[in-house]
A and B are shown apart, each in its own frame.
Chain A
Amino acid sequence: MDWILPFIFGITLLIGLIFIGLPVAFSLLLVGFLGILIWMGFVPSFAILGFTSIYYTPINFLLLVVPLFVLMAQLLERTGATDVLYQAFWDLFAGVKGALAVATISMGALLGACVGSSAASVATMAHIGLGQMLTRGYRKWLAAGAIAGAGGLAIVIPPSIGAIMYGFVMELPVLDIFAACMIPGLLMALGYCIVIFMLTRFIPDVAPAGQPTRVKVRLRSAVIILPFFGLVLMVMGSILSGIASITESAAFGCLGAFLIALFMGRKEKLSLRNFLGAGRETAISTCYILFIVVGAKVFSKFWSMTGVIEMLGETISSLPLTPVVVLLLINVLVLFFGTILDGVTIILVVLPILGYGLMAMGYNPIHLGVIFLINIEMGLTTPPLGMNLFILGGVGEKYGVGYTETVRGAIPFLLVDATVLLLVIAFPSLALWIPSLLH
């Protein structure tokens, strides 16, 4: 039972530091360092902090995709190309009840595939979509709910930073995780659209139809959307077909995003200053993500050196419960963590421990990855603490959308998430079918 003390020390100090507001990256770094210092001594702790984590951790080929995907999204957002896309979706679906909410979901699915970060996706869509929906007479709760739901798609629909981090920490091919996320991600997007149509059917004035646009306008909108679909197809297609590595596809994605920004972005936003701004924002996002990775490395070293990870895995797998019950319990735990912690932190710190335990029970790590990503996405929109709700709340204040309305709107979309989660648990082939085709 030598592992109990490091486990209690690590978990209590880490949660304590995070809850008093110390940045997650520094909490992980400090607890990991102190743990190794106490149990192993000063020399190994200082060496692990310096060489293993700060020096060697960031220079990992897989982590190269993080700045590339973030840059891709930044280029589209900073040049106003995302505004153009939103307007195109609105024109395409105009005249249908709930059209703008459906446009938001479609945009979320597409942007999620480009952005890869749930928080960034929610913030972007809240800025673009909330005002548009409210001025067209949408109920506040539906407008907020659609954005909260659609923004969450970014963590599941590939290429997502969450999937990359899961592959990194579990040492799995990211390609397989991307492929596994495709069907569940599309099911979620489809489920959201069905929810919107049902709501508009049963509550008639919840989302007015608006004036239908002419066929010519619709066709033009479809043409505008095409390059964005092309971008997603190019990135995902080149990865899945094996033409290019993930890093190379991400670099091609940046080139595609640059061209879209150049030809479809708003003229007033096409400036060197904005392009440099995209680079600077990318550096900020990459910096905080990689600092969490560096911190998580020290922390995981502490727990692996003291045998905590191995023993926790064994303890989970030897629980006198059926594997499905254990999985469901762990889902509740991840959901709870999802409401208080950032997605990357959960993936880097919590999932390896729980994942190894479940793998010992016979679960496929790719299947688990999809389950966990949906779970984290749910956590981000679960009241009272879901991070996406707060991000949306911050932007929503400007439009008079309160926290209660955001929560009310998010609930139907959460139910869709829960349904897809249960389906993926019950039918693993929903996640594993496409990866099996790749091999």
Chain B
Amino acid sequence: MKIDRISDMLLTVAGLTCISLPIIILIFVTIRWQYPHGIPLWSEDICQMLLWFITYLAAGYVIRVDGHVRVNVFLEKFPSKIRKYIELATSAVCLITGLLAALAGTRAAAVAWLEHRKTFNDLPEYLFAVVIPIGLILMVFEMIRLFRAQIKRKGD
């Protein structure tokens, strides 16, 4: 499915970001040793904003593989029929929460974009913030798909 490929691609971008983080930090450490006064002040800002890439671009994939921490020991005690209903309700609540997060995150990123928000060291923060809505909206799509699959399974 198309959405699978997009999730997978965004996770790869997040993974590459993870690999690039130590490289970027080491480059800046080397620059600092060579030129104690020449290190760009915004180097820290870049690394911090790359955390958005990792957190939000991987969000859809983590939902797909059920990678979030959850406590299942109590749920497993219920009879399977009741458990199915609880799981359905849980998915619905998760979807609502995801929607809320996506709306709030998109609004925050939009405000940053409209205000041309910059970091303390004058780096255009709003450009990096674009990944927040992208990641969160994909996360909601994955949640919807999970929810629909559960409804279908219940119907079967």
The majority secondary structure among interface residues of chain A is: helix
Q: Which residue of the partner chain A has the closest CB to B117?
A: A55
> Given the complex, which residues of A lie within 8 Å of B90, measured CB to CB?
20-22
Is A385 engaged at the interface, CB distance under 8 Å to the other chain?
A: yes
A254 lies within 8 A of B22 (CB): yes
A21 lies within 8 A of B108 (CB): no
Give the segment of A96-104, A274-282, A319-327 that binds chain B.
A274-282
- Report the bound CA distance from A275 to B48 in whole Å: 22
Contact with A along B87-101 (1 / 0, CB 8 A): 101100110111011
B21 lies within 8 A of A251 (CB): yes
Contact with B along A276-300 (1 / 0, CB 8 A): 1111111110111011101000000
A292 lies within 8 A of B25 (CB): no
- Once A21-B86, A251-B25, A287-B59 are accepted as A-B contacts, the answer to whether A55 and B112 lie under 8 Å apart by CB is yes
- Report the bound CA distance from A58 to B112 in whole Å: 16
B25 lies within 8 A of A247 (CB): yes
Is A63 engaged at the interface, CB distance under 8 Å to the other chain?
A: yes
B12 lies within 8 A of A280 (CB): yes
Is A202 engaged at the interface, CB distance under 8 Å to the other chain?
A: no
Is B62 engaged at the interface, CB distance under 8 Å to the other chain?
A: yes
Give the segment of A45-53, A138-146, A172-180 that binds chain B.
A45-53
Residue in contact with A283 in the complex, picked from B17, B74, B93, B129, CB distance below 8 Å: B17
Size bracket, chain B contacts: 35 or more
Residue in contact with A276 in the complex, picked from B16, B51, B101, B107, CB distance below 8 Å: B16
Is A17 engaged at the interface, CB distance under 8 Å to the other chain?
A: yes
Q: Which residue of the partner chain A has the closest CB to B78?
A: A20
Q: Which residue of the partner chain A has the closest CB to B98?
A: A26
B70 lies within 8 A of A24 (CB): yes
- Once A46-B107, A283-B14 are accepted as A-B contacts, the answer to whether A29 and B97 lie under 8 Å apart by CB is yes
- Report the bound CA distance from A317 to B59 in whole Å: 40
B62 lies within 8 A of A287 (CB): yes
Residue in contact with B73 in the complex, picked from A26, A294, A385, CB distance below 8 Å: A385
Distance in angstroms from A416 CB to nearest chain B CB is 26
The 10 lowest CB-CB distance pairs between A and B, nearest first, are: A279-B15, A50-B104, A23-B68, A283-B14, A280-B15, A254-B22, A50-B108, A251-B25, A287-B58, A251-B22
Could you list some 21 contacts between A and B, CB below 8 A?
A20-B75, A24-B69, A26-B97, A30-B97, A33-B97, A50-B103, A50-B108, A54-B132, A64-B51, A68-B21, A68-B25, A250-B22, A251-B25, A252-B26, A255-B26, A283-B15, A283-B18, A286-B51, A287-B59, A288-B62, A340-B71
Which residues of A come within 8 Å of B, CB atoms? 17-26, 29-30, 33, 46, 49-51, 54-55, 58-61, 63-64, 67-68, 70-71, 244, 247-248, 250-252, 254-255, 275-284, 286-288, 290-292, 294, 340-342, 344-345, 385, 390
Q: A21-B90, A282-B18, A341-B71 are in contact. List 20 more A-B contacts (CB 8 A).
A: A21-B74, A26-B68, A30-B96, A46-B103, A51-B108, A55-B105, A55-B109, A58-B55, A59-B48, A59-B52, A68-B22, A251-B26, A278-B15, A279-B16, A279-B19, A280-B11, A283-B17, A286-B51, A287-B56, A342-B69
